Structure 1
Amino acid sequence: MELEASRAIVYRHMRPTESFSWPLLSQRTGCTVWIKHENHTPVGAFKVRGGLVYLTGLKATQPDLKGVISATRGNHGQSLAFAAKRLGLQAVIVVPEGNSPDKNRSIQALGAELIVHGVDFQAALEYTQKLAEERGLFMIGPFEKPLLRGVATYALEFFEQAGNLDAIYVPIGMGSGICGLITVRDALGLKTEIIGVVAEGAPAYALSFEKGEVVSTEKAETIADGVACRVPSPEAFEIIKNGAARVIRVSDDQIMEAMGVYFTDTHNLCEGAAATPLAGLLKEKDLQVGRKIGLILSGGNADRDTYAEVLKRIGDGA
């Protein structure tokens, strides 16, 4: 019932995104591959669903709410900015230094106030908590149940569109995407393996999964800003620990290769975090031959400089 209510909220503002099976990609990997195209939402990423559901509920229960504040590396911030503008709320978004200029401009174009602070996402998040108190704004964390309910609507669409899948590869940033998949799979009583993918330079969730408890890292360095997590969410980790088949690591080179493959085989733009599932499948393709595999293309907001390098590698035959 909660999921259907969330879906109704999302569909007031956007259509379901499509799922396709691309022949060239299936040929390359040796299995039947289905792609969930969350790069085709109004903000180019799956996160918009969570922002719409969270802020709609927040406004209904707190009609005098002044505004919201949150930290982001990009897509979460765009989600909240998009939803806030639709619902007549103020949004303040904090990003770390060196954040994608393209994503920063998009957040501002959507009507949010952008603040740059801190050397990485965790530093920006800690500053956001302080600023929320000072300015009387409602603080929204990177992983909360209303966000999860909204994001989970993409998982329900995917299972409806693609049917039963043997396995799905999904990126792990702060965890809402993979947790949405696990939650819906379990609710539908399916046996689909859910495989999380992180960057080698940001292995916190992989380390946590392997140890069975939350493990933080001192750094999270990767071209895939959407998975640059060094402090996992305990709530998200519990769902992942109990529901994921495994969490695997891919290198930045493998991520860039997957971005190029998406362009070559489907002519879709894919940002670094969204390329990690395909990078994971390419790494494990010998395990998946002949199976029906889902990939979450979670966003298409590729940074121009990074994508220029991807195209150069394609041109060089790399």
Structure 2
Amino acid sequence: MQFTRDAIQDAQRTVYSVMPPTPQYNWPLLKQALGFDLWVKHENHTPLGAFKVRGGLTYVGWLRRTQPDVRHLVSATRGNHGQSIGFATRQHGLKATIVVPHGNSVEKNAAMRALGVELVEYGEDFQASAEYAAVLAEQGKLHRVPSYHPELVRGVATAYVEFFEALRDAPPDVLYVPIGQGSGITGASIARAYCGVKTRLIGVVSTLALAYQKSFQSGVPVDSPVTTAIADGMACRSTVPEALEVIRREVDDVIAVSDEEIASAMRLIYTSTHNVAEGAGAAALAAATQQRDRWAGKRVGVVLSGGNVDAAVFARALRNEI
């Protein structure tokens, strides 16, 4: 997957029409805790508290240009993707139906409803919800928004262009990025090429949702059961073949972090920066912590990809009950 400079700059215009760039900070307490120079890209500072808003804006903007007759969209999510579609459809006066699995985040569900989406609960995991979204699209002749698409990736890439351009004089040696359906890590690879930096990319999955790691290692899509209790943004049973192709070509490694490591990273982020991270949002820091000895004396980047965690879950993480 490649984009021209004009395509990336067009995505920037679309994104910045509704939000400013998000910051990247070097937090002294995190540097002290890990022992190396650490930069955090704060995608928890977007209008929706997560990076996904960028992709929703570019996708729906593209859809309005290419399929202007579409009036009603449907998609599946664990939360942040659904918020992005709800936010973007509201910008354009369109309708959105979002399918979530039973037991999904109460507060993410509330946020989606507040954006005007019709929320449907179906299935026990994301894949089941995605399959039902396809059924709804067929039955209602709705436009189905996939969880991975070049236009979503084009928008997400703007976050990492900001990151690499801000650190152009001394790019990080490595950047850790969590993997859900793959738009974040592939967006990072596109931004790296756009900015001409040599930063290594390491993808991060949950030890309880290993599809992308197993697929990365084997070279073919491999399904894996999902049982993570905290990293819903990475709770994917199956890979997207197009995303896997880019990941295998562009990413140095894919490593796994446990729920306990993620909860510890959530606590560290809060005590060191007073930012709130959801499980997937803290996964990159958890991975950097796991590999801290590897990067002693180096410059490391992590993305805090989202802060949309239910209060009860965050409280358990803070109390070291996960």
* TM-score (norm. length: structure 1): 0.97
Question: Which is further off, 196-205 or 179-188?
Answer: 179-188
Question: Would the aligned equivalents of 2:71 and 2:94 in 1 still touch at CA under 8 Å?
Answer: yes
Write the mapping of 1:1-318 to structure 2, written as runs, cut at 5 A. Answer: 1-163=6-168, 164-313=171-320
Question: Which is further off, 194-203 or 57-66?
Answer: 57-66
Distance 1:209 1:61 in 2: 33
Query: Match of 1:273, as an amino acid?
Result: A
Query: Match of 1:132, as an amino acid?
Result: A
Q: Which 5+ residue runs of structure 1 have no aligned equivalent?
A: none
Divergent runs of 4+, >6 A:
none
Distance 2:226 2:281 in 1: 21
Amino-acid identity (%): 48
Q: How far apart are residue 186 of structure 1 and its match?
A: 2.2
Question: Which is further off, 193-202 or 208-217?
Answer: 208-217
CA RMSD of aligned residues (A): 1.2
Query: Match of 1:84, as an amino acid?
Result: T
Question: 1:263-293 deviations in whole A, cap 9, x for unaligned?
Answer: 0100000000011100001100000111111
Query: Match of 2:253, as an amino acid?
Result: R
Question: Which is further off, 160-169 or 97-106?
Answer: 160-169
Distance 1:140 1:107 in 2: 15
Question: Would the aligned equivalents of 2:72 and 2:95 in 1 still touch at CA under 8 Å?
Answer: yes
Distance 1:140 1:243 in 2: 25
Q: How far apart are residue 63 of structure 1 and its match?
A: 2.0
**SS of residue matched to 1:92:** strand
Distance 2:205 2:225 in 1: 16
Query: Match of 1:9, as an amino acid?
Result: T
Question: Would the aligned equivalents of 1:151 and 1:180 in 2 still touch at CA under 8 Å?
Answer: yes
Question: Would the aligned equivalents of 1:48 and 1:82 in 2 still touch at CA under 8 Å?
Answer: yes
Q: How far apart are residue 64 of structure 1 and its match?
A: 1.9
Distance 1:175 1:243 in 2: 12
Distance 1:143 1:62 in 2: 18
Distance 2:117 2:198 in 1: 41
**SS of residue matched to 1:15:** coil
Question: Which is further off, 280-289 or 185-194?
Answer: 185-194
Question: 1:83-125 deviations in whole A, cap 9, x for unaligned?
Answer: 1111111011000000001000000001111000011000000
* TM-score (norm. length: structure 2): 0.96
Q: Which 5+ residue runs of structure 2 have no aligned equivalent?
A: 1-5
Distance 2:112 2:264 in 1: 28
